[in-house]
C-alpha cells in the first residue's frame, strides 16, 4: 500500500493529501505503541515511582470559589534565587549554543536560554548525534534554562530527565516552548501551534497536562513561553493564570 501511495503522490493534490493523512495516522499509531511500552519505565525524579499523569486544574473566567494556591510566589522566589536577572538572552534555534552564551555573558547577560530542543528527536535512542550537539554546558554557564518543545507529556518529561541527568543537574529550570511560529512547528503540532485553539477546553488540557506532568516529576522549576491569544487579552490572562495554578 505504501509503494502504491508513493507513486500516486505525483497525481492531483487530493491523492497527496490521502498519502500524507495515511502517513500521519501510521506515525501517530506507532508513537502510541512506543509510549505505551516505555511509560512504566519513566521514573519520577521527585517520587522515585513510575510516572502518572494528573488532571490539571482548569480555572474559569468567572470562578468565585477559586482560592489562590499556597505556592503563588514560587515563580518570583525562583527569579530572586538566580539573582533577579535584568539582562536575559532569549532562546534562538541554531544560535544560542554554549559558545554564543559565553560571549553574551561577557557583555553582562545575566540569564541565558538554550536553543529549542525537540523532545521527540532528543529521546530517540539512535539519534545520539542530535542529543550531543543540541545542548552543551559547563560550570560557568549559569544560570541557564533549557527550552523543550513537544506535545506529548511523557516524551517531554523523558527528554527533560535525560537532559538534566546527562548534564549533572547544571540546569536551573525547564522552559516549555509554546511560542515557535515556524512551519516545522505547525507540522509537528508544537510551539505556538499548541495555542491555536487554546480557547477550547481540549487544547487548554493538552498544554496544562504537559506543564503539570513536568511540575509533578521534576525537581527544578518549570516556565512556559507563550504568545498573546488572537484578539483576546482576557483569555490570554486566564490561560497564564491556569499555567501558574498547575
Catalytic residue among 112, 149, 178, 180: 180
16 is catalytic: no
Three cell numbers, residue 209: 497536562
| Strand order across the beta sheet in which 111-118 lies | 88-89, 111-118, 144-149, 173-177, 222-225
Name which of 128, 122, 130, 126 is nearest 155 in CA terms: 122
Kindly give, in sequence order, each residue whose CB lies less than 8 Å from that of residue 184, ignoring residues fewer than 6 positions away: none
160 — phi, psi (to 5°)?
A: -65, -45
Three cell numbers, residue 70: 499556597
In order of 7, 148, 203, the CA distances from 153 in angstroms are 36, 11, 13
Three cell numbers, residue 167: 548534564
CB 195 within 8 A of CB 177: no
Q: Could you list the active site residues?
A: 180
Amino acid at each position: 500500500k505504501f509503494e502504491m501511495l508513493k507513486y500516486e503522490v505525483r497525481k492531483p493534490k487530493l491523492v497527496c493529501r490521502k498519502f500524507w493523512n495515511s502517513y500521519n495516522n501510521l506515525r501517530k499509531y506507532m508513537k502510541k505503541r512506543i509510549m505505551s511500552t516505555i511509560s512504566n519505565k519513566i521514573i519520577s525524579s521527585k517520587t522515585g515511582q513510575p510516572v502518572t499523569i494528573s488532571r490539571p486544574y482548569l480555572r474559569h473566567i468567572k470562578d468565585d470559589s477559586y482560592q489562590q494556591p499556597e505556592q503563588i510566589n514560587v515563580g518570583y522566589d525562583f527569579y530572586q534565587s538566580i539573582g533577579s536577572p535584568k539582562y536575559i538572552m532569549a532562546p534562538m534555534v541554531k544560535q544560542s549554543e554554549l559558545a554564543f552564551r559565553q560571549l553574551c555573558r561577557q557583555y553582562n547577560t545575566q540569564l541565558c536560554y538554550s536553543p529549542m530542543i525537540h523532545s521527540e528527536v532528543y529521546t530517540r535512542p539512535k539519534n545520539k548525534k542530535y542529543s550531543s550537539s543540541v545542548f552543551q554546558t559547563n560550570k560557568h554557564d549559569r544560570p541557564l534554562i533549557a527550552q523543550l518543545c513537544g506535545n506529548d507529556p511523557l516524551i517531554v518529561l523523558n527528554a527533560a530527565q535525560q537532559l538534566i541527568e546527562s548534564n549533572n543537574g547544571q540546569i536551573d529550570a525547564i522552559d516549555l516552548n509554546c511560542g515557535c511560529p515556524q512551519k516545522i512547528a505547525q507540522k509537528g503540532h508544537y510551539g505556538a501551534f499548541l495555542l491555536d485553539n487554546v480557547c477550547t477546553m481540549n487544547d487548554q488540557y493538552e498544554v496544562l497536562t504537559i506543564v503539570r506532568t513536568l511540575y509533578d516529576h521534576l525537581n527544578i522549576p518549570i516556565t512556559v513561553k507563550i504568545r498573546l491569544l488572537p484578539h483576546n487579552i482576557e483569555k490570554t490572562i486566564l490561560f497564564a493564570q491556569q499555567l501558574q495554578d498547575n
